C-alpha cells in the first residue's frame, strides 16, 4: 500500500509540474462595448489556465526552467460568441550569470478570430482541430518552446517546431485566416514553414550563436561576446542575399533591435561602422534605431 501511495504521489507531482510555460495573459477590450465584462474575464482565465497548465512536451521542468512569455490580446469586435482581434506574443530567456532576460520572439498576429462560449473548456489535442482559439494558442506555444530550445542548442527546437507545423496543417481544416499561404505572406503559415526551411536556416543559426556565444559569455569577456553578437547577426546577411526583406529577418529584428543597439553601444569600444552599414541594408525599417548606436 505504501508503494502504491508513493507511486501515486510521484505521478501527481509530475502531472502538476509537467508544464513548460510561464505565461502572462492580458485581454484588452477597449474597442468593444458589452454589458458582460465577466465574459472577457473568464476568457482571460481560460487562456491563462490553458497556457500555464497544458503539458505541451511531456518534459517536467522546474519553475525557473519554464519559458517566460506573454500574450496581449486586443479584441476589436465581438458578436454571438465570435471574437475578432489581434494577439501579440512575446517570449524571453534568461542570460547566464545575470538577472537579465533577453527577448527571443516578438510577433503581432493580426488574423486572430475565434469562437468562445463562456466557461468552455479549452482542450489541446495535436491530432485534431478543436477550435481556432486552441489552435492559435498551441501553435505559438510550440513556436516559443522551439525557439527557446534553439537558443541553447543548435537546432535544439526542431521537435517542437515540427509540432507547430502539425498544428498549422491540422488547423487549416477550420477555415480561419492565417493558416494558409493564400492569407498573406506574413502569417502563421509562412512563420513555421520559413522556420523549418533550409533557405532560412541562418535565422536559427543566428539565434543560437547570438545567445550562447554572445550574451551568455558577457561575464567572461565582454569584447569577445560583443564580437560574437556581431558575427551572429551577420549570419542574417545570407538570408538578405537570397531574400531581401525576408519575413524572418523582420521577425528577428522585431525582437532584437533594441537589444542590439544596447549591446553595441556599451563598452569596450569596437569598430562596428561597417556592421552598422550592413544593419541599415538588412533592416532599413530600424534605421532610426541604428542611428543611435554610439560608434
SS (H, E, C) 117-143: CCCCCCCCCCCCCCCHHHHHHHHHHHH
Mean pLDDT, rounded, for 87-114: 97
Per-residue pLDDT at 202:
97
Inform me whether the pLDDT recorded for 149 exceeds 50: yes
Phi-psi region of 210 (alpha: psi -120 to 50; beta: other; left: phi over 0): alpha
Provide mean pLDDT across the span 216-235: 96
Mean pLDDT, to the nearest integer, of 94-121? 96
Query: Considering the chain, what percentage of its residues have pLDDT values greater than 90?
Result: 87
Q: What is the pLDDT at residue 104?
A: 98
| H or E segment and range at residue 236 | helix 236-242
- Our CA dihedral for 219, 224, 229, 230, rounded to 10 degrees, sits at 160
Cα 248-139-112 angle, rounded to 5 deg: 85
Does pLDDT of 13 surpass 90? no
What is the band of 266 on the pLDDT scale with cuts at 50, 70, 90? confident
Nearest one of 202, 209, 195, 96 to 151, comparing CA atoms: 209
Greater model confidence, 2 or 279: 279
pLDDT band at 269 (very low <50, low <70, confident <90, very high): confident
Amino acid at each position: 500500500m505504501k508503494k502504491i501511495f508513493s507511486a501515486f504521489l510521484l505521478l501527481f507531482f509530475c502531472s502538476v509540474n509537467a508544464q513548460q510555460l510561464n505565461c502572462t495573459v492580458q485581454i484588452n477590450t477597449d474597442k468593444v462595448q458589452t454589458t458582460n465584462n465577466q465574459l472577457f474575464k473568464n476568457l482571460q482565465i481560460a487562456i491563462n489556465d490553458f497556457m500555464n497548465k497544458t503539458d505541451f512536451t511531456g518534459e517536467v521542468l522546474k519553475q525557473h526552467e519554464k519559458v517566460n512569455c506573454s500574450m496581449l490580446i486586443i479584441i476589436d469586435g465581438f458578436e454571438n460568441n465570435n471574437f475578432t482581434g489581434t494577439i501579440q506574443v512575446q517570449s524571453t530567456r534568461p542570460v547566464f550569470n545575470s538577472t537579465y532576460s533577453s527577448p527571443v520572439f516578438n510577433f503581432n498576429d493580426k488574423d486572430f478570430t475565434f469562437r468562445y462560449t463562456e466557461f468552455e473548456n479549452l482542450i489541446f489535442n495535436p491530432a485534431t482541430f478543436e477550435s481556432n482559439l486552441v489552435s492559435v494558442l498551441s501553435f505559438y506555444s510550440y513556436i516559443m518552446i522551439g525557439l527557446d530550445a534553439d537558443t541553447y542548442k543548435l537546432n535544439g527546437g526542431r521537435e517542437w517546431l515540427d509540432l507547430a507545423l502539425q498544428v498549422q496543417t491540422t488547423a487549416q481544416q477550420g477555415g480561419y485566416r492565417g493558416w494558409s499561404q493564400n492569407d498573406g505572406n506574413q502569417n502563421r503559415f509562412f512563420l513555421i514553414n520559413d522556420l523549418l526551411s533550409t533557405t532560412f536556416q541562418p535565422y536559427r543559426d543566428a539565434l543560437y550563436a547570438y545567445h550562447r556565444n554572445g550574451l551568455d559569455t558577457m561575464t567572461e569577456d565582454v569584447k569577445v561576446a560583443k564580437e560574437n553578437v556581431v558575427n551572429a547577426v551577420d549570419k542574417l546577411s545570407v538570408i538578405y542575399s537570397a531574400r531581401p526583406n525576408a519575413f524572418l529577418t523582420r521577425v528577428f529584428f522585431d525582437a532584437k533591435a533594441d537589444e542590439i543597439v544596447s549591446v553595441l553601444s556599451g563598452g569596450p569600444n569596437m569598430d562596428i561602422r561597417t556592421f552598422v552599414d550592413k544593419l541599415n541594408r538588412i533592416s532599413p525599417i530600424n534605421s532610426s534605431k541604428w542611428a543611435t548606436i554610439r560608434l
